[in-house]
Amino acid sequence: MAHLREFSLAEAIAVLTRTPTTVNALLRGLPNAWVRTNEGKDTWSAFDIIGHLIVGERTDWMPRVRIILENGEARPFDPFDRFAQVKESQGKSLEQLLDDFTRLRMENLAALQALNLQQEDLTRRGKHPALGVVTLAQLVATWAVHDLTHVHQLSRVMAHRYRDAVGPWSAYLGVLQCGGHSAP
């Protein structure tokens, strides 16, 4: 399987471990103007993005790992609710969300490592409700790249706020040319 050439569980975990500290470093203590800004109607702020990462920890990644190991392709994954954070984050502070995300991620990585997965487990298959057959390796790789997608989105959402403030330099600043690929 070509995709296993680049993938290793230890290297994926190296990325997954660093995401809580990365988003804490980027966001904790920032003025609200940065945390609550978005890219316009029906787009996400940093606050919304951390809420979305929490929902993923609760309902997506490790639950799907377990479905693959316990049921294989026989039981499709539950669909993921991309808007659950709107309700779940209500009334919380960004700092609470960062704490929740950090705790849940650490618990999930401990659970993943406790499974003591072997190389042959990585080819075990599950069924995505829309994408069809996927492997355990693809699921864990996606977990890591999903983190990177939202770090990418966080930097873009924040930069958008200074789109006018940078004046003529906007032509040179790559993040301002990014149309956004993490909709909404």
Closest to a copy of itself by CB, 31 vs 91, is 31
Contact between 111 and a copy of itself by CB under 8 A: the answer reads no
* Strand ranges for the chain from DSSP E: 125-128, 132-135
Q: Are 111 and 62 in contact (CB under 8 A)?
A: yes
Q: Report which residue type is found at 104.
A: L
Closest to a copy of itself by CB, 57 vs 147, is 147
Please name the residue that has the structure tokens 């190389």: 119
139-178: contacts with a copy of itself (CB under 8 A): 141-142, 144-146, 148-149, 151-156, 158-159, 161-162, 164-169, 171-178
The C-alpha atoms of residue 101 and residue 55 are separated, in whole angstroms, by: 9
With vertex at residue 41, the alpha carbon angle to CA 39 and CA 47, rounded to the nearest 5 degrees, is: 60
**Chain positions contacting a copy of itself, by CB under 8 A:** 2-7, 10-12, 14-15, 18, 21-22, 24-27, 29-31, 33-34, 128, 131-132, 134-135, 137-138, 141-142, 144-146, 148-149, 151-156, 158-159, 161-162, 164-169, 171-178, 180-183
